[in-house]
Amino acid sequence: MIRWAICLALFFQAFGLCFAEDTLAPLVKRTVSAVVTIKTLKKTANSVGSGFVINPQGFIITNDHVVDKEDKVQVLFVKVVKGKHVQGKELLGRVILHEPKLDIAVIQVPAQNMPVLTIGNSEDVQQGDTVIAIGSPLGISNTVTKGIISNNDLEINGDSYIQSDVMLDSGNSGGPLIDQEGYVIGVNTLVLKDPQKKNSQKISCSIPINRVANLLAKKGIPFAVNSTNHKDAFTKSTAIANVTKEEPSNKFSIPLKVIACLFILFISSAIFILIRRRRRAFKEPEVKINLEQEPNVDIQLH
């Protein structure tokens, strides 16, 4: 009976592994190095923000209100070494584009071969999609928060935003909103809150990345884009020829949890077969009863 219980326990453990939620650690590991902290040269309450690299030659996207009309800013990079954040380079960046209407600015730093984030397609965003935000809330570099898309077309003052429940705070502005495939679908920009309610829920809003990509293409600023998702999204722009395209990998890979699930199922099946063989090998001797012989019965009356 104990052996059967062990088999069942192993089976249900394997079943649970097959349907367990995937960790987002691999996604964060391959995207976090392309996110930067931006500091303005003048020290104010809102002098820290976030940004992300869109081109190996040092082009960085952020919010225009982060750079605050300045022409030069400090850009801090963070490296991930053995799963830990290590302070990287600190470079002086030059603001090459201000677009206050869209609240987007572009910074260029003197660097080459930088890790980049790839532009996705915000038109494909659906309510319920899992997303992560990476930024520097309160100046804490490369902080990651997770949430879902609450509204893929929230209108604020005539402009469209992506609403999510990822936790954003001061310093997250300009950072990327990333989908589960690692593509940027939005630029984290603002938080809505009822000022009359102290503990009211914050609503996080991001600029759809397609609006940003159209601006970059018109200005001739190159960026990495997932061409299979966008198809003809930027064909009207004359600058699309400068865009760096990243083709998706065709390599087939088996998730680690599936391998673990199959291994546990194999072990439990082997134990089950072993138990059956042992039971057959050690059968109890059969007890034969001679029905022709009448049993001696002693009947007593009370």
Of the pLDDT bands very low, low, confident and very high (cuts 50, 70, 90), residue 7 is: low
More confident residue, 20 or 150: 150
Mean pLDDT of the chain: 80
Please pick, among 164, 173, 206, 227, the residue that the annotation labels catalytic: 173
- Asked whether residue 255 carries a pLDDT value surpassing 70, the answer given is no
| pLDDT for the residue numbered 280 | 67
User: Per-residue pLDDT for 246 more than 50?
Assistant: no
Catalytic residue, from 47, 50, 64, 103: name it.
103
Task: Give CA–CA dist 248/182, Å, rounded.
Answer: 11
Least confident of 18-22, 100-104, 158-162, 163-167: 18-22
> pLDDT higher for 237 or 81?
81
**pLDDT tens track for 103-155:** 999 999 999 889 999 999 999 999 999 999 999 998 888 899 999 999 999 99
Q: What is the pLDDT of residues 165-177, one digit of tens each?
A: 999 998 999 999 9
Neighbour-count burial for 250-281, b at 16+ CB within 10 Å, e otherwise: eeeeeeebeeebeebbeebeeebeeeeeeeee
Q: With 90 as the cut, is the pLDDT of residue 60 above it?
A: yes
Q: Is 80 exceeded by the pLDDT of residue 163?
A: yes
Whether 204 is a known active-site residue: answer: no
The yes-or-no verdict on residue 232 having pLDDT over 60 is: no
Place 274 in a pLDDT band, splitting at 50, 70 and 90.
Answer: confident
Q: Is 103 among the residues known to form the active site?
A: yes
Tokens in use for 89? 């380079």
| Mean pLDDT confidence for 68-93 | 85
pLDDT band at 293 (very low <50, low <70, confident <90, very high): low
Confidence band (pLDDT; 50, 70, 90) for 230?
low
CB neighbour list of residue 120: distance below 8 Å, 6 or more residues apart: 179, 181, 183, 184, 185, 209, 226, 229
DSSP H helices, the chain, are 2-18, 25-31, 64-67, 209-219, 227-230, 256-281
Is the pLDDT reported for residue 222 higher than 80?
A: yes
Confidence of residue 199 (pLDDT cuts 50, 70, 90): confident
Give the pLDDT band of residue 67 (cuts 50, 70, 90).
Answer: very high
Higher pLDDT, 291 or 225: 225
pLDDT of amino acid 80: 73
**Hey, what domains does the chain have and what are their CATH numbers?**
25-245 (2.40.10.120)
Known catalytic residue: 50? Answer: no
Other Cβ atoms less than 10 A from the Cβ of 6: the count is 14
Q: How far apart are CA 232 and CA 223, in angstroms?
A: 16
Residue 177 β-bridge partners: 133, 186
Task: Label residue 204 by pLDDT band (50, 70, 90).
Answer: very high
- Segment 191-204 mean pLDDT: 81
Average pLDDT of span 24-47:
86
pLDDT at 277: 72
Q: How far apart are CA 301 and CA 228, in angstroms?
A: 96
